Amino acid sequence: MAVAFDEMSGPGGDLRPAYQELSRWLKETPPEALEYRRQEAELLFRRIGITFAVYGDSEAQERLIPFDVIPRIISAKEWTVLEKGLKQRVRALNMFLRDIYHGRDILRAGIIPDDLIFQNPVFRPEMNGQDVPHDVYVHIAGIDIVRVDAENFIVLEDNARTPSGVSYMLENREIMMRLFPDLFARHRVAPVERYPDELLAALRSVAPLSASAEPTVALMTPGVYNSAYYEHSFLADKLGIELVEGRDLIVKNDEVFMRTTEGLKRVDVIYRRVDDDYLDPLTFRPDSALGVPGLMSAYAAGNITLANAVGTGIADDKAIYSYMPDVVKFYLGEEPILKNVPTWRCREPKDLSYVLDNLDELVVKEVHGSGGYGMLIGPAATKATIEAFRDKLKREPEGFIAQPTLALSTCPTCTASGLAPRHVDLRPFVLTGSKSVTIVPGGLTRVALKEGSLVVNSSQGGGTKDTWILDE
């Protein structure tokens, strides 16, 4: 594996301009001071209750995501490119979804094989021919971006279902501003605090036609035991909307109402953080107690907007991912600004045989997996693990894709033995309303805290950093 690109020191060890002031500040600041601030930050997170739950881990039901106090910095010039690329990508995702559930031009053009859609468990036949308000499917997208050099931003994954992490983008900034006012004074950091306002505006803009002029928006959560519950309550609070669970909602005459102390009140837009499968026991899983019976029929009647729409999983599926450059070209007639990671589709015999021959160098991912689970990182795996994967691949090749092991870029990070480079990724949040696509300048930077590790997922020991977009 190649030596990783370090975002502060650059390829030849030349300090990159965006990090000049930070580097100076780090030299002036004694390590004890950093450690003290780190502890202070942890205390704040604990007190505010910014925790997440790890499933299957009864010991630590509520854990903190480790927060690294060294910011990750992106220059204005880099951001301009990234922003343009993200908007382009999300526009294409929305057009793709509209097409898949209506005319299916892209299938007829032979760009994506039919069975990849129709055999796919995340494809929702219920959505066939159904119009969604303003043709917006993905209102909130979290696009995972990595860098391998100074020039390119690469999309690792499109999250088009219920992406989480935006509360960390906002809280990390709050805490950094409290702890390091001086460091902020020495930079011009673009603010992220508009996000809740922009999100609310986007959600209101996509209200169904039958809604009143002042549409009612609610955030739907699976409940306090969900791993992202803190984020749900945080966002509902910032948006000033009700945080509802399935049992708070009821469908009557194809309209959705919430039960309030003053009787039923109509809801027009649901920002749902509940997976498709659990939305409506009458349509999806009958054993689910999280959902609202009849929700899908209200949806079909056009009386409720669900954000994101049902069935968006087909757009961020790892099998579809490899076709994204073609998807962008097909719908927009433009060259994709953001690159894809080269991907071998194990369902194709030629690709499979290449993958089987090079397992020790590749990253193999389950097509339907997430959270960094069920994946093989070839260079870091034992022989036995590799062989186990080989068997899995032969048995069910269509369940996997493979990618080269990327040398993710690194950023200086506090470790037990002082500052050291650690691998990072970036998840900016892209909002799509009826009129426009917007992104607040920033995102969630996740950092793999273990030396050499490439897994940034919080469920597997990853941490977060504040992400600074410099305003020039």
Partner 1 sequence: MLSRTAENLYWLARYVERAEYLARTIDATLRVTALPAAYIGKTNEWDSALLTAGISASFYETYQEANEQNVVEYLSFSPNNPSSIRNCIEAARLNARSVRTALTGEMWDTINSAWLELQQVWSKGAKSREELAKFLRFVQETSLRFDGSAYRTMLRNDAYWFSRLGVHLERADNTARILDVKYHVLLPEEEHVGGPLDFYQWTSILRSVSALTAYHWVYRETLKPWLIADLLILNDTLPRSLASCYGNLVRNLDQIGVAYGRQGPSQRHARGIRNRLEHSHMDDIFQHGVHEFIQEFIADNSRLGEIITKQYLL
Phi, psi (degrees; rounded to nearest 5) at 270:
-115, 115
74 vs 241, which CB is nearer to partner 1?
Answer: 241
51 vs 460, which CB is nearer to partner 1?
Answer: 51
Return the sign of the alpha-carbon dihedral for residues 322, 325, 331, 336.
Answer: positive
Query: To the nearest whole angstrom, how small is the minimum distance from the Cβ of residue 431 to partner 1?
Result: 21
Query: How many angstroms separate the CA atoms of 140 and 90, rounded?
Result: 9
29 vs 233, which CB is nearer to partner 1?
Answer: 233
Query: How many angstroms separate the CA atoms of 425 and 63, rounded?
Result: 21
Query: To the nearest whole angstrom, how small is the minimum distance from the Cβ of residue 446 to partner 1?
Result: 25
Query: To the nearest whole angstrom, how small is the minimum distance from the Cβ of residue 245 to partner 1?
Result: 7
259 vs 435, which CB is nearer to partner 1?
Answer: 259
Sequential DSSP letters for 102-128: TT-HHHHTTSS-HHHHHT-TT--GGGT
233 vs 405, which CB is nearer to partner 1?
Answer: 233
Query: To the nearest whole angstrom, how small is the minimum distance from the Cβ of residue 260 to partner 1?
Result: 6
Query: How many angstroms separate the CA atoms of 59 and 46, rounded?
Result: 17
Query: To the nearest whole angstrom, how small is the minimum distance from the Cβ of residue 57 to partner 1?
Result: 16
Of 252, 278, 283, whose CA–CA distance to 266 is shortest? 252
Query: To the nearest whole angstrom, how small is the minimum distance from the Cβ of residue 244 to partner 1?
Result: 7
Classify 469 as helix, strand or coil: strand
178 vs 247, which CB is nearer to partner 1?
Answer: 247
Phi, psi (degrees; rounded to nearest 5) at 413:
-145, 145
Residue with tokens 């102390």: 261
Query: To the nearest whole angstrom, how small is the minimum distance from the Cβ of residue 233 to partner 1?
Result: 4
Query: To the nearest whole angstrom, how small is the minimum distance from the Cβ of residue 208 to partner 1?
Result: 21
58 vs 382, which CB is nearer to partner 1?
Answer: 58
Going from the C-alpha of 353 to that of each of 276, 347, 349, 374, 390, the distances in angstroms are 35, 10, 6, 20, 11
Buried b (16+ CB within 10 A) or exposed e, 34-50: beebbeebeebbeeeeb
Give the chain's radius of gyration (CA, Å): 22
Of 432, 431, 435, 411, whose CA–CA distance to 423 is shortest? 411
Of 214, 193, 168, whose CA–CA distance to 48 is shortest? 168
The answer to whether the beta carbons of residues 362 and 380 sit under 8 Å apart is no
230 vs 321, which CB is nearer to partner 1?
Answer: 230
Q: 392: burial class by Cβ within 10 Å (0-12, 13-18, 19+)?
A: middle
158 vs 255, which CB is nearer to partner 1?
Answer: 255
118 vs 225, which CB is nearer to partner 1?
Answer: 225
248 vs 275, which CB is nearer to partner 1?
Answer: 248
Instruction: Tokens for 25, please give them.
Output: 């500040």
Query: To the nearest whole angstrom, how small is the minimum distance from the Cβ of residue 11 to partner 1?
Result: 46
Query: How many angstroms separate the CA atoms of 472 and 465, rounded?
Result: 22
Which residues would be at the binding site for partner 1 (CB under 8 A)? 46-47, 49, 223-224, 229, 233, 236-237, 242-245, 247-248, 258-262
Query: How many angstroms separate the CA atoms of 2 and 386, rounded?
Result: 21
Query: To the nearest whole angstrom, how small is the minimum distance from the Cβ of residue 247 to partner 1?
Result: 7
Query: To the nearest whole angstrom, how small is the minimum distance from the Cβ of residue 268 to partner 1?
Result: 16
Of 465, 452, 403, whose CA–CA distance to 423 is shortest? 452
